[in-house]
Amino acid sequence: MGEGADPGRKSIGARRNPDSAGAILEAAEAVLVEAGYSGFSIEAVARRARAGKPTIYRWWPSKAALLLDIYQRQKRVDNPDTGNIEDDLVGFLNSLFSHWHDTSSGSIFRSIVAEAQSDASAAAALDEYARGRRAHTSRMIERAKARGEVATDVDPLLVADLIGSFAWVHLLTNRLHGEEAAIRAAVRYVLKGIAAPSQL
């Protein structure tokens, strides 16, 4: 009998059952709060959620993938659309830094990045997440291009990488108390460049 033949087993299969997935994510959040990153495991989540490990691994192929879903579930970061690309990017970075600093999300994400350096499944999960974030951030650049603020030949994904790199280095070096003036200066360097005016 195939997996799809039993309609009562909704939690098994490639497609997530929303109620079961929600229960697993809630259990995972509780385990993370109680045991911290070092005590977090799929086994502990399965016990707490009363779910089978195969179900969890089918939906989240690694611990890092599950943690990234928890991270995204907790994430509350502004994606401004002020009509000005500098203000949009500064607002985004201010919101991101505050979120990382004021919640457990910063430490979760830092731990995932660290694990990705030695674990292939964590690296794959982080890469998939980063590609999605890169596309999300690049939409701010696309909007600015449509407004005529950004040159038509600028690659929005590359600009998103530059902005993301600035954010990640501050997270990984625990420098999240950045003043808006410093963030704005960095955004201006990205938008306007650092070359001296040509001497004629």
Question: Where do the structural domains in the chain lie, given as residue ranges?
Answer: 9-60, 73-192
Does residue 10 contact residue 20 with C-beta atoms inside 8 Å?
A: yes
Under CATH, what is the fold of the domain 9-60? Arc Repressor Mutant, subunit A (1.10.10)
pLDDT mean over 1-9:
35
Per-residue pLDDT at 127 exceeds 60 = yes
Select from 3.20.20.450, 3.90.230.10, 3.40.50.1100, 1.10.357.10 the CATH code of 73-192.
1.10.357.10
Per-residue pLDDT at 36 exceeds 60 = yes
pLDDT at 76: 86
Per-residue pLDDT at 11 exceeds 60 = no
Whole-number mean pLDDT of the chain?
A: 88
With residue 131 as reference, give the H or E element that holds it. Answer: helix 120-147
| Confidence (pTM) | 0.82
The span from the CA of 33 to the CA of 127, in Å, is 25
Residue 178 gets the label, from left (phi > 0), alpha (psi -120 to 50) or beta, of beta
